[in-house]
Amino acid sequence: MNENQNSHRPVFVIGHKNPDTDSICAAITYANLKNKVFGGNYIACRAGHLNEETQFVLSHFGVEVPAYIKDVRTQVRDMEIRRLDGVSGKLSLKNAWTKMRDADVVTLCATEGDLLTGIVTTNDIVETYMDVIDPSILSMARTSYRNIVETLDGELIEGNIDEELTSGKVVIAAASPEMMENVIEKGDVVILGNRYETQLCAIELDAACIIVCEGAEVARTIKAQAVDHGTKIITTPHDTFVVARLINQSMPIDHIMKKKNLITFHMDDFIEDIQEVMASKRHRYFPVLDKNDNYIGMISRRNFLGAHKKELILVDHNEKNQAVNGADAADILEIIDHHRLRTIETAGPVFFRNQPLGSTCTIIYLMYREYGVELDRTTAGLLLAAILSDTLMFRSPTCTNVDRNAGEELAKIAQVDYEEFAKEMFHAGSNLGGKSATEILHQDFKKFTVDDLTIGIGQINSMSAEELVEIREKIMPELGEVAADDGLDMMFFMLTNIIEESSEVVFAGNKALHTLNHAFGLNAEGDNVILPGVVSRKKQLLPAIVEAIQQ
């Protein structure tokens, strides 16, 4: 038996589409066994909707319905996602560049709360630094004084650091005070040195801020004038040249980042669907969102190389057309089944257990015993229900002494009168008043491939002849249409009377009646065939049909 090597990764234990009670109970009980024996992360799942019988069983034993998985192809969630935190749109270009360098990425995602607001790349920053020469760019970007102070490694000695620059331009006070009167306007940011006259001139001209370079001391009178005029004062250890070179890097990234038509992927996206999109764009990183559009992290093209296929254990089937969608793109680790061998292909060797017993859950019961794992009442009840369902309360020709002995032992552990329980269970399964004909036909339904033909066989079991008549009248008008919609060459539906141990078979498809007559040596006419003693799809109806088709 394969032990899950990566115990943190989930292994999905799953039955066939249109699951029956054996399929669902096998997934639940086998996942439980694997977790107890190996302590991994085995999760029971289902590949379709529950029928009434199975709903009754789970409700009776107080067991949650397994999670529904529609497709097991590899998804974004199976890739290695770069969990880099989102940043504020107010982050300066300088700090953004530093974060990208430290994290060895070329993209940052801006978020507000958990919601993605934009994307900025190193190219965006470089293009801004190289191309933008507008001296008003900082006010246009509503740059905060906090960003300016941090970018210049400076200190704000007058004013409110949380305010933003909303007007004006950046000016270097290189000329005499007399000349500066023609250059400085109200609201400007003025870069200057330690000359008292220049500082005073800039303040009197209502500059929004003066930046004093080279760590020069600022006179108390200058500070007082700055307060009176509402001018902020920043001191920095850098010289004028360095300050002029750095100051545009204080701009917030939200001024240059891409905000509209962002290419994002969701955790549940299938990677085969996103590969073409990624290949067509020059971006190296793409944001990943959860189902509520909250930012999770980023992926790049190289993450495809490390994507982990989903890991599966299949129970109660081994045919490709019965398996969950995408099973051929997953890693199948194990198969536990009691049906004929068919078309599932695996990438490597698997643990495969197939025994000619009446129920997959009988096999799982034996495995509990082999591993010495104690059965609690709930697990015993689920295993019992599956065995009773698949063997028609030990009446089916598929039932063996092993099944009967297992069922009787499980009934004792579960403290259940299995005959009374079976009656309730079968009644729940045949009580289909609120269901459409299509829903009834697909309730316990399997597709099979025989040579080049696709056939479908459904079955309803009941202990009431009257119920079976009602079901027959409901499904007959739509039988042909459902078969055509499903792309079937032939469709057979068994109305099985558990008490009389017989089935009425209704059908659709040009050769369906001929096939049934040939399979069972009959000369029936009309739209139905009565088959006394035939109650098993797996052991009686299907083998006879396969042989008739192949002959």
Task: Say which residue, 164 or 7, is predicted with more confidence.
Answer: 164
Look at residues 209, 225, 250 and tell me which one is the last residue of a structural domain: 250
Question: H-helix or E-strand containing 189?
Answer: strand 189-192
Shared-domain flag, residues 123 and 33: no
Q: Do residue 123 and residue 261 come from a single domain?
A: yes
- Token code pair at residue 429: 């399964």
Q: 16 and 94: one domain?
A: no
Residue 6 binned pLDDT confidence (cut-offs 50, 70, 90): very low
Mean pLDDT of the chain: 92
Q: Which single residue is written with the structure tokens 């019988």?
A: 53
**What pLDDT is recorded for position 343?**
67
The candidate with the shortest Cα–Cα distance to 508, out of 524, 486, 492, 528, is: 492
Looking at the fold, whether 489 and 444 belong to one and the same domain comes out as yes
Tens-digit pLDDT profile for residues 380-436:
999 999 999 999 999 999 999 999 999 999 999 999 999 999 999 998 888 777 789
Same domain, 453 and 543: yes
- Residue showing tokens 């459902």: 482
Structure tokens at 4: 């899950």
pLDDT of residue 1: 56
Q: In sequence order, which ranges of 163-282 are alpha helices (DSSP H)?
A: 177-180, 196-204, 220-229, 240-246, 271-279
| Cβ contact 535:391 at 8 Å | no
Lowest mean pLDDT segment, chosen from 131-135, 181-185, 239-243, 477-481: 131-135
- Answer yes or no: are the C-beta atoms of 120 and 110 closer than 8 Å: yes
Burial of 376 (0-12, 13-18, 19+ CB in 10 A): exposed
Predicted structure pTM score: 0.72
Number of domains, the chain: 4
pLDDT at residue 541 is higher than 80: yes
Rounded to an integer, what distance in angstroms lies between the CA atom of residue 523 and that of residue 540? 19
Residue 2 has pLDDT above 70, yes or no: no
Contact 185, 251 (CB under 8 A): no
- pLDDT-above-90 percentage for the chain: 77
Pick from 529, 525, 345, 542: nearest CA to 456: 542
Predicted local confidence at residue 538, as pLDDT: 85
CATH number at residue 490: 3.10.310.20
Which CATH number does the domain housing residue 290 bear?
Answer: 3.10.580.10
pLDDT in tens, 84-127: 999 999 999 999 999 999 999 999 999 999 999 999 999 999 98
Whether 261 and 120 map to the same domain: the answer is yes
How many angstroms separate the CA atoms of 340 and 537, rounded?
Answer: 12
Encoding tokens for residue 151?
A: 């970018």
Inside any domain, residue 137 = no
CB 24 within 8 A of CB 66: yes
Q: H/E element holding 548?
A: helix 542-550
| 1 occurs within a structural domain | no
Q: Is residue 53 domain-resident?
A: yes
Question: Does residue 414 lie within any of the structural domains?
Answer: yes
Residue 18 token pair: 């249109």
Confidence category of residue 5, pLDDT binned at 50, 70, 90 = very low
Confirm if 249 and 106 have CB atoms less than 8 A apart: no
CB of 448 closer than 8 Å to CB of 537: no
Helix 401-414 and helix 360-371, axial crossing angle in degrees, nearest 10: 70
**Are both 408 and 508 inside the same structural domain?**
no
151 in the same domain as 195: yes
Residues 116/110, Cβ–Cβ less than 8 Å: yes
**Max mean pLDDT range (55-59, 216-220, 442-446):** 55-59
User: Percent of the chain scored above 70 by pLDDT?
Assistant: 98
Of 265, 288, 306, the position where a domain reaches its end is 306
SS (H, E, C) 104-164: CCCEEEEEECCEEEEEEEHHHHHHHHHHCCCCCHHHHCCCEHHHHHHHCCCEEEECCCCCE
Pair (82, 166) in one structural domain: no
Question: Pick from 427, 452, 485: which residue ends a domain?
Answer: 427
- 89 and 63 share one domain: no
Collapsing DSSP to helix, strand or coil, 539 comes out as helix
**pLDDT, tens digit, 9 for 90 and up, residues 457-476:** 999 998 889 989 999 999 99
Helix then strand then coil, in percent of the chain rounded to 5, is 40, 20, 40
| CB of 86 closer than 8 Å to CB of 113 | no
CA distances from 95 to 147, 247, 295, 299, 470 (A): 9, 12, 20, 22, 74
| Residue 133 tokens, joined | 């020469």
**Do 121 and 150 fall into the same domain?**
no
Does one domain contain both 410 and 443? no
Q: Give me the domain span that covers residue 223.
A: 142-250
Main-chain phi, psi angles of 441, to 5 degrees: -65, -30
Query: What pLDDT is recorded for position 495?
Result: 96
Asked, for residue 5, whether it belongs to a domain, the answer is no
CATH number for the domain that contains residue 222 = 3.40.1390.20
Looking at per-residue pLDDT, the higher value among 283 and 206 belongs to: 206
Token look-up 């250890």 returns: 237
Task: Please give the pLDDT value at position 422.
Answer: 94
The CATH code of the domain that includes 396 is 3.90.1640.10
CB 169 within 8 A of CB 248: no
SS in 3 state form for 380-431? HHHHHHHHHHHCCCCCCCCCCHHHHHHHHHHHHHHCCCHHHHHHHHHHHHHC
Q: Is 506 helix (H, G, I), strand (E, B) or coil?
A: strand
On whether the CB atoms of residues 385 and 349 are closer than 8 A, the answer is: no
232 in any annotated domain = yes
Lowest mean pLDDT among 45-59, 219-233, 426-440: 426-440
Q: How many degrees, rounded to 5, is the angle at CA 54 between CA 541 and CA 311?
A: 85
Residue 255 CA, distance from chain mean position: 34
Does residue 432 fall inside a structural domain?
no
The verdict on residue 2 lying in a domain is: no
Whether residue 340 is predicted with pLDDT greater than 90 in this model: the reply is no
